[in-house]
Amino acid sequence: MTAGPGRYVVPAVVRAVEILRLFSAGRRLITEPEIARELRIPRSTVFRLGQTLVHLGLLERSEGGNALRLGVGVLRLGFETIASLDLAEIARPALEALRDATAMSAHLVVRDGDEVVVVLKAARRSAVSGSLTLGSRLPAHATVLGRAILADLTVAELRAVFPAGRLKAYSAQTPRTVVALARLLAEDRARGTVVSESFFEPGLSAVAAPVRDGSGRAVAAINVTVPSGGAIDPALIGRVRATADEISHALNFRRDASVAVNF
């Protein structure tokens, strides 16, 4: 008797994928009892699988830990449901308005360790809209989007993000050490936005600003990429900053709150 392909199926992997498939644009939070009931598997198994998926960054626990939701790590697998994350949905109208007002591609990123991940893109309305797509990962220390998020961190926190101390160079402008990065971030904080010309890629300019939640900390960043040879004028910088502030306000950030904010 010849064994079929099902002989080699690993049940734990099947169950983990089934858990991820339960999430959708209309269902962002699911409790472990709900998962156990719908998939007809023991709650102890759901707990172990959930812990594993959280460890891998594919799931996150909600505030209070009573439910699970998709994590940023699903971007590595190309999950289309990442577009259903609250942050992307909240930011979409403002980011598309920024794209329409500037005729430039705009992006929203979040930080995942020492990288930033594109979770939303408002593509420039042209045949060429840039190389960044949903799920693109960029080195945080070498990009304006990353600097906009990292600028909140202390030197000790930066060392935790970059434990090796030495940073990979992507251009002549890339900081090579945590100390050099900290100096650059201090200048970014003083300006309130991050502006670059050929900082990451030759001929590519960008303007970025942080997005904050109710705690006052930067949880994301937005940018516009300026076509080769385009000018970065104060009006463009102001519009990017205003869009970041609009998204931050929607996330319950108030600049006059008691939380100290450097940007």
CATH architecture of the domain with residue range 5-77: Orthogonal Bundle (1.10)
| CA distances to 18, 31, 77, 173 from 48, in Å | 14, 14, 21, 45
What the block records as the tokens of 260 is: 């100290």
Q: Residue 176 in 3-state DSSP? A: coil
Would you say 143 and 122 are in contact if contact means Cβ atoms under 8 Å apart?
A: no
How far is the first Cα of the chain from the last one, in angstroms, to the nearest whole number? 69
85-250, CATH topology level = Beta-Lactamase (3.30.450)
**pLDDT (tens place) for every residue of the chain, 263 residues total:** 445 556 778 989 999 999 998 987 678 889 999 999 999 999 999 999 999 999 998 898 887 778 998 887 776 665 545 544 678 888 999 999 999 999 999 999 999 889 999 999 998 876 444 567 888 899 999 999 999 999 989 999 999 999 988 899 988 889 999 999 999 999 998 888 998 876 777 667 899 999 998 888 898 999 998 876 566 889 999 999 999 999 999 888 877 643 445 55
Would you say 108 and 120 are in contact if contact means Cβ atoms under 8 Å apart?
A: yes
Distance CA 254, CA 252 (A): 6
> Which pLDDT value is given to residue 121?
92
| Domain ranges across the chain | 5-77, 85-250
